Amino acid sequence: RAYNPLFLYGGVGLGKTHLVHAVGNHALKANPACHVVYLSSEAFTNDLIHALEQHKMPEFRARYREKCDILLLDDIQFLGNKKQTMEEFFHTFNALHEAGKQIFVTSDKLPNEIEGFEERLRSRFQWGLIADIQPPEVETRVAILKKKAATDNIHLPDDVALFLGTHIRSNVRELEGSLIRLAAYASLTRAAITVELAKDVLKTVLVVRGDKPDVEQIIRVVGEAMQVRPNDIKGDRRQQGIARARQTAMYLTRKITHLSYPAIGERFGGKDHSTVINAEQRITQLMDEDTELRATVESLLRRLNG
């Protein structure tokens, strides 16, 4: 409890929730009588709404303030702009902290970057430790792949494990997902798992060290991540999902290739340069408002840039 509260932040798929569960399990092993409360910020909000509707606020407050030794709250960024929920959490925080109870929260961004987060809550997190969780290094990625392969009875040659660990760098979720995808393809086609097969099956998620992705690769990667066909990204259809994928691909092309606006527009089916400018501005704005889109764009940027 030297660091209280403990605020852990990092991108999607890096293991924050897994780590929170591990902390709770460790606490219970060390002291089975310890009352650990784990929940997401969404569950906290829903519990509060239920308590208000059922006129059970005393029970709600007792559950989180009096009967809790360790509070583990996941994805606290979703409390932003929820005024009454933040009010209750603020008083819950104070009650637990004054009683010497541990508070551990996770987020996808720093406290001062959470939109709609009250300043008094931001300042509370400065009392303890704010730590980030980074994507694993190549050695760790290879170890993760080997463990996953052993768990799922996948024959993964060392050279393939090293190849995947070197070229898939965004997060653990994508790393394990790529292995499952490769193994499934090999099983269906009765092919051996080799580096060449991995290059072919996973070409949209691999990053070749030192190579700058071209516009076509950016479009393919965005299309796969956002479930939109590359031809639609380059086309003129204006459905929201397609338009958002097109804007995202234009934004990433500008960030990664530094091509001019007219040059980017030309590669997206002959679009006007103003369309590219508007796309870049729109995605920049939405990333401040939509945490899910921001996480997606940041993950794609890491994948493409390596």
* Domains contained in the chain, CATH given: 6-132 (3.40.50.300), 138-201 (1.10.8.60), 215-305 (1.10.1750.10)
- Distance (Å) of CA 44 to CA 4, 67, 68, 76: 20, 15, 14, 10
Phi, psi of 209 (to 5 degrees): -55, 130
Within 10 angstroms of residue 125's Cβ, the number of other Cβ atoms is 23
- Sign of the alpha-carbon dihedral angle for 276, 282, 285, 287: negative
User: How many angstroms separate the most distant Cα atoms in the chain?
Assistant: 66
How many Å apart are CA 65 and CA 90, to the nearest integer? 11
Record the pTM. Answer: 0.58
Q: What is the pLDDT of residue 133?
A: 80
Scan for tokens 């494990």, then name that residue: 161
Q: What is the pLDDT of residue 306?
A: 58
Which pair of tokens denotes residue 26? 């460790």
Exposed/middle/buried for residue 129 (C-beta within 10 Å: 0-12, 13-18, 19+)? middle
Interstrand relation of 102-107 and 36-40 (parallel, antiparallel or unpaired): unpaired
Cβ atoms of 131 and 32 within 8 Å: the answer is no
Q: What is the pLDDT of residue 210?
A: 47
How many Å apart are CA 103 and CA 71, to the nearest integer? 5
pLDDT tens by residue, the chain, 306 residues: 568 999 998 777 777 888 889 999 999 999 999 999 999 999 999 999 999 999 999 999 999 999 999 999 999 998 988 999 999 999 999 999 999 999 999 998 888 878 888 889 888 988 888 888 877 788 888 999 999 999 999 999 999 999 998 888 767 888 899 999 999 999 999 999 999 999 988 876 775 544 567 888 899 889 988 889 999 999 999 898 999 999 999 999 998 887 888 889 999 999 999 999 999 999 999 988 888 888 889 888 887 875
